[in-house]
Structure 1
Amino acid sequence: MTLLAHDRYVDEIAHQVGQLRAVVTSGADLSATVPTCPDWRLEQLVRHMGGALRWVDLLVRTRGRENIPTEQVPEYDGPEPGCAPAVLDAWLAESGRLVVEALREAGPDAEVWAWAGVATSGFWARRMAHEITVHRADATLAAGLPYDVAPDIAADALDEWLELVEWVQRNAPHEAAKELRGPARSIHLHATDTAPDLNAEWLVELAEDGVHWRHGHEKATVALRGPLTSVLLAFYRRLPLDSLELEVLGERELLEFWLEKTTFG
């Protein structure tokens, strides 16, 4: 599949860090439970994201050839729990600055350890752009704030998620992913609010030999239709399927089965 430019991913990381910082400084209750990640408080989600950015910064900056334990990442955990929002915001800002600088300096082709796909800095630029895009949705839902995302990023986030599901099913010993194999069935995702050149339709086929997917408008066992951002959030299990802006046509049980079995990301 065609990727976005490396600089586009890095720019988006910088943008999303700014947007997440705005949640931190909005006056939101940082002790509130995150509805879409109920094991976390909002402060914990922010710390998770900032720590992940610092971990990727160290991987890329050192051209790490193997995984780096988080215990070795400077300031991975951030400031003292329960600190003032301004202190947490400053740490998050620095986390974003570090990883953006490291990724810009490395470019897309530097060899860096990665847990899936091609082991390059480009993998991490794309992965972190989408990681923070989705976790910012978690944060805005917890804070009761509006959420939007650029169409090219939303569409590419869906591409990347399907690629990761495909990779995990073929390469990782994950029982839930293995259960996606079976009699031929299919899922159609259809964004209803985008320009045709964005190619924001997907057909996901579940077969005996694994998951396959492609862009296109085709009949399927079940279809999920709605605005692109809503389709993205629903497919990432951040928005209920019965939300008013979404439409499910066909065998809803298959879509629910997919969402249940793709919780490893």
Structure 2
Amino acid sequence: MTSLAHERFCDEITRQVEELRELVTSGADLSVTVPTCPEWSLEDLLRHTGGALRWVELLVRTRATENIPDEQVPGIAGPDVRGDAAALDAWLAESGAALVTALREAGPDTRVWTWAWRQDAGFWARRMAQELTVHRADAVLAAGRPYRVAPDVAADAIDEWLEILRFVQGTGTDPEANELRRSEGSIHLHATDASGPDAEWLIEFGEDGFTWRRGHEKATVALKGPLTDLLLAFYRRLPLDAPGLEVLGDRDVLEFWLKRASFG
């Protein structure tokens, strides 16, 4: 499956970081618990996200051939003082700008270490754009504000999640992802606010794992809703009974997937 262009991902990283910074500068409560990541406060989430930006920036800028441990990443932990919104905002701005600069200078095909099936800077541009897409949803939900994402980015986020799960299942290293296999069953994802095959997905189970493709086809169970909500439900950020979502068919098959669709 072809993903978006490298520059599109770089632009999206910039935009998503700006949106996260707006939460900080507009007075969001940094101490509030993140409902979708209850072990974190909003500040913990933002520090985690900014730290990931700095880690990837160092990988890309140095053309790393192996993983770089966190303790070797300058500034990964964020500002020394917790609760300092101005310092957190400045750190996020610096982290995002440095990563985008490194990615643009490298271009998509420059060889860089990754944990995945691709070993290039293009992988990291896509991965960090989608990391931000989902963690910004976590942040926005914690702050009680509305969340939307561009349709092309949301659709690619579903594609990437499926590609990651397929890769992880193939490695056999994640017990939950490894269980995404059964003798029969399929899942149809249908975005109700978009049209054409680019707004629909089919996931089919098999004893050797699952396969997926874009397209409109009947399945054992269908999950329907606006594309953004479909993305969040598929990432387990919204419950299946959330307003606007509809489950048609064998709900157990969908819940079987959601309980096991993870990695790391």
Common fold, TM-score beyond 0.5?
yes
2:77 aligns with: 77
Q: SS at the partner of 2:242?
A: coil
1:175 aligns with: 175
2:3 aligns with: 3
With 116-125 and 80-89 compared, the bigger mean Cα shift is at: 80-89
Q: SS at the partner of 2:44?
A: helix
Cα distance, 1:257 vs. partner? 1.3
Question: Unpaired segments of 5 or more residues in structure 1?
Answer: none
| Letter matched to residue 256 of structure 1 | E
Distance 2:241 2:94 in 1: 39
1:138 aligns with: 138
Give yes or no for the alignment of 1:220 onto 2:219: yes
Distance 1:178 1:76 in 2: 32
Distance 2:164 2:239 in 1: 22
Pair 72,207 (structure 1): closer, same or farther in 2 beyond 3 Å: same
Deviation by residue 1:46-101 (Cα, 9 ceiling, x = unmatched): 00000000000000000001010010000000102424211100000000000000
Contact 2:138 2:237 in 1 (8 A): yes
| Letter matched to residue 73 of structure 2 | V
Identity %: 66
1:238 aligns with: 237
Distance 2:118 2:230 in 1: 27
Cα distance, 1:172 vs. partner? 3.7
Q: SS at the partner of 1:56?
A: helix
With 176-185 and 136-145 compared, the bigger mean Cα shift is at: 176-185
2:258 aligns with: 259
1:115-130 equivalence runs, <5 A = 115-130=115-130
Q: SS at the partner of 1:29?
A: coil
1:47 aligns with: 47
1:8-47 equivalence runs, <5 A = 8-47=8-47
Query: Size of the alignment, in residue pairs?
Result: 264
1:94 aligns with: 94
Question: Unpaired segments of 5 or more residues in structure 2?
Answer: none
With 172-181 and 134-143 compared, the bigger mean Cα shift is at: 172-181
| Letter matched to residue 133 of structure 1 | T
Pair 81,253 (structure 1): closer, same or farther in 2 beyond 3 Å: farther
Distance 2:136 2:172 in 1: 27
Distance 2:173 2:133 in 1: 27
2:249 aligns with: 250
| Letter matched to residue 200 of structure 2 | E
Distance 1:187 1:140 in 2: 28
Q: SS at the partner of 1:199?
A: helix
Cα distance, 1:253 vs. partner? 1.2
Q: Which runs of 4+ in 1 moved over 2 A?
A: none
Contact 2:61 2:106 in 1 (8 A): yes
TM-score (norm 1): 0.98
TM-score (norm 2): 0.98
1:159 aligns with: 159
| Letter matched to residue 55 of structure 2 | W
